[in-house]
Copies of this chain bind each other. A is one copy, B any other.
Amino acid sequence: MLARNEALANLKAGYLFPEIAKRRREFLAKHPEAKIISLGIGNTTEPITPHIDAGLVEGARRLATREGYSGYGDEQGMTALREKIAQVFYNSLEGCRLIAADEVFISDGAKCDIGRLQLLFGRSVPVSVQDPSYPVYVDGSVLIGAAGPWNGTGYQGIHYLPCTAENNYFPDLDRLPKNGLVYFCSPNNPTGAVASREQLTALVKAVQKSGSILIFDAAYAEYIRSPELPKSIFQIPGAETCAIEVNSFSKPIGFTGVRLGWTIVPKTLVYEGGESVNADWNRICTTVFNGASNIAQYGGLAALDPEGLQEMRQLTDYYLENARHIRSTLQKLRIACVGGDNAPYIWAHFPGRTSWDVFETILETCWVVTTPGSGFGPAGESFIRFSAFGHREDIVEACTRLERLAK
């Protein structure tokens, strides 16, 4: 009989969030009276706003008409949406390299696109990740065979770039492996830290110097409020020849369940032999993908109307206000933390304790689910990620309960 793919055997335990869900279920089984509030998974909670939802409803309705019906579209997405994304999210940003519509590829979300990017680059490429980082960069690299088994502190072949309080959550980039992939997320999940223009400039230079390609995850860009912080890597000169940007409608407009994202692959990005990465990405998308849902794409179009953009701003403001509540509660408790000002996550430090231990304490003491920092990588140990996605009254109640930690 066929043997198991050894890459799968290399992956340890379960994916982080199903593991958290399991522990929550186990706690509820023992304490059925507990009214748990989740500040764990970064799952949006507020309804889709009126103008954007009308786009979805209209998209669904038109499919029932002969004129409005569409079957397979272009795997790369609707031209109108590609153009609008280029214009709204890039070409109107200060100092951004002009992005053409055929450099924008619409997808069913950032996580799925990252999986396909790993297929694009294959198994022979060294991988660097921020530590801590969003699990798919590492787990997906293990699946494709670009990383080996867990060695007790990390996966073999992954170059971890620790982001700690000591370096202000921006890693030392001096020893990037040659000709590799560098995953970088800003605003960061899980730390909530946002890289400055100077830091991103240093990042692009280090990536160029090492002959690498940067996979820049900008899924939280719409949470940036400080005007001096770049929202796209393409605001940094040189990125157009060394970077790919992954982005998503999930967090700015609550499309986590609707599934819509995009990836920018500049036509100026080439491999060592001069072949076009954009053309290869197109081949990947047409071969093992069939496009995002047309209904979701109509919703995306509505989101980029002036009314939709206003709603996007209001929704992200709402979650940022939640973040401020959590952050000020933690500060009152004298728990060191970062993030929450230009990002919907707060990263809190509990020195001397393991993350899962703190997770259990908060669950048992406060009936609040969080995310253990160690789930994001070795340097996440002793940290807890608080997510600001929740109904306001739940956040306020959770903050009240968190004050029990003072005792």
Interface residues of A (CB under 8 A from B): 1-9, 11, 14-15, 17-18, 41, 43-50, 53, 56-57, 59-61, 63-66, 68-73, 108-109, 111-112, 114-116, 118-125, 135-136, 139-140, 143-145, 179-181, 211-213, 254, 256-259, 270-273, 275, 280, 283-284, 286-296, 299, 389
Contacts and interface: CB of A to CB of B under 8 A. Distances in A.
A233 to B, nearest CB: 17
Contacts of A145: 122-123
A2 B64 CA distance: 47
B295 A180 contact: no
A256 B69 CA distance: 11
Contacts of A179: 1-3
B71 A254 contact: yes
- Max chain B Cβ within 10 angstroms of own Cβ: one of A5, A212, A257, A273: A257
Nearest to A178: B2
Rank and list the top 8 A-B pairs by shortest CB-CB distance, nearest first: A115-B288, A5-B122, A53-B64, A71-B256, A257-B294, A56-B60, A43-B71, A1-B272
B69 A287 contact: no
A288 B114 contact: yes
A184 B361 CA distance: 52
A2 B212 contact: yes
A57 to B, nearest CB: 5
A108 B72 CA distance: 12
A121 B290 contact: no
Residue among A50, A139, A271 with most chain B CB within 10 A: A271
A292 B48 contact: no
Contact of A139 (B9, B43, B49, B287): B287
Which of A4, A49, A120 has most chain B Cβ within 10 Å? A4
Contacts of A271: 1-4
Contact of A291 (B116, B122, B257, B287): B257
Nearest to A46: B69
B48 A64 contact: yes
Nearest to A109: B290
A78 to B, nearest CB: 10
A221 to B, nearest CB: 19
Nearest to A248: B290
26 contacts: A1-B272, A2-B121, A2-B212, A5-B125, A8-B283, A9-B275, A17-B286, A47-B69, A48-B69, A53-B64, A56-B63, A59-B60, A63-B254, A72-B256, A111-B288, A111-B290, A112-B288, A115-B119, A123-B145, A135-B287, A136-B288, A143-B288, A257-B293, A259-B294, A293-B295, A295-B295
A296 B295 CA distance: 8
B111 A63 contact: no
A15 B50 contact: no
Contact of A61 (B57, B272, B273, B275): B57
